[in-house]
C-alpha cells in the first residue's frame, strides 16, 4: 500500500519542479540571446535585408521591393560593372545632410573613362547595351575618368536618379554590399537583373 507523502517529500518535489522551470527559462534565455547575437553577426558581416524607398532604380527595382544584400563577396572580389550596390553616402552627400544608404548600379570601374551623351552611356569609348533603363538619359556628362578605389554609379531611372552624375564617385570603402536576391513581392522573387554589356560592334556614328 502506498504511503502518504510526508511534508519533506512534498517540499523536495516542489523545489525540483521550481528548479526545472528556472532551468527551462534560463535555456530559453540563452537560446534567444545566441539567436540575437547570431542574427546581428549575420547582418553585420554576411547579409542583410533592405527595401527600396524610391523610384530611382525603376524599372529594375520597384518601390517597396525587398532585397537580400550580400556583404561578403566584395571582401574577396571588387564590384563589377552592372552590379547593383548599396553604399553609405560619400562625403558630398553627407555634407548635404544625407545619412541613409543609397542603391545604384555600378557603371564605371576605377580607371574607366565614362561619358553620357546623345542618350547613350559609353565606357572607354564603347557604348553600353542597357536594355534595363527606364528611358535614355536626357543629360550630358563627362567624359570623366573614375579615380582609383572609386566607382561611378547611376540609377536605372536615369532622368530621375540622384547619382554620380550629380555628386561624384563612390569610394570603395563606402560600399556595403551587392543586391543579390529579391525576396518580396513573391511574384517577383529571384535574382536581380543581369549586368549590362558593351555593344558587339561600335556605333556607326561617333559620340560627338
Name the strands in the sheet holding 197-198, side by side, starting at the edge strand that comes first in the sequence. Answer: 141-145, 113-117, 120-123, 126-129, 197-198
Active site residue 8: no
CA 105/CA 206 separation, integer angstroms: 25
Task: Evaluate whether 144 touches 195 at the Cβ level (below 8 Å).
Answer: no
Cell readout for 105 is 548600379
- Catalytic residue selected from 71, 104, 174, 178: 104
Angle at 34 between CA 32 and CA 37, to 5 degrees: 110
Cis omega (within 30 of 0) for bond into 194: no
- Catalytic residue selected from 56, 150, 161, 164: 56
**Backbone angle region of 146, left / alpha / beta, with phi > 0 → left and psi within -120 to 50 → alpha:** beta
Active site residue 56: yes
Cis omega (within 30 of 0) for bond into 56: no
Active site residues: 56, 104
Amino acid at each position: 500500500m502506498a504511503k502518504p507523502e510526508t511534508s519533506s517529500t512534498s517540499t523536495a518535489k516542489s523545489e525540483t519542479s521550481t528548479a526545472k522551470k528556472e532551468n527551462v527559462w534560463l535555456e530559453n534565455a540563452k537560446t534567444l540571446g545566441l539567436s540575437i547575437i547570431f542574427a546581428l553577426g549575420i547582418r553585420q558581416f554576411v547579409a542583410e535585408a533592405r527595401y527600396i524607398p524610391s523610384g530611382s532604380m525603376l524599372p529594375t527595382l520597384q518601390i517597396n521591393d525587398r532585397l537580400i544584400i550580400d556583404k561578403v563577396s566584395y571582401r574577396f572580389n571588387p564590384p563589377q560593372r552592372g552590379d547593383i550596390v548599396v553604399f553609405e553616402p560619400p562625403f558630398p552627400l553627407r555634407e548635404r545632410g544625407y545619412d541613409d544608404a543609397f542603391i545604384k548600379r555600378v557603371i564605371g570601374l576605377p580607371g574607366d573613362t565614362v561619358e553620357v551623351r546623345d542618350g547613350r552611356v559609353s565606357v572607354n569609348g564603347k557604348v553600353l547595351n542597357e536594355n534595363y533603363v527606364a528611358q535614355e538619359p536626357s543629360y550630358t556628362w563627362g567624359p570623366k575618368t573614375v579615380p582609383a578605389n572609386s566607382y561611378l554609379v547611376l540609377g536605372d531611372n536615369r532622368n530621375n536618379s540622384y547619382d554620380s552624375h550629380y555628386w561624384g564617385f563612390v569610394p570603395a570603402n563606402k560600399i556595403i554590399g551587392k543586391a543579390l536576391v529579391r525576396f518580396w513581392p513573391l511574384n517577383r522573387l529571384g535574382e536581380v537583373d543581369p549586368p549590362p554589356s558593351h555593344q558587339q560592334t561600335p556605333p556607326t556614328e561617333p559620340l560627338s
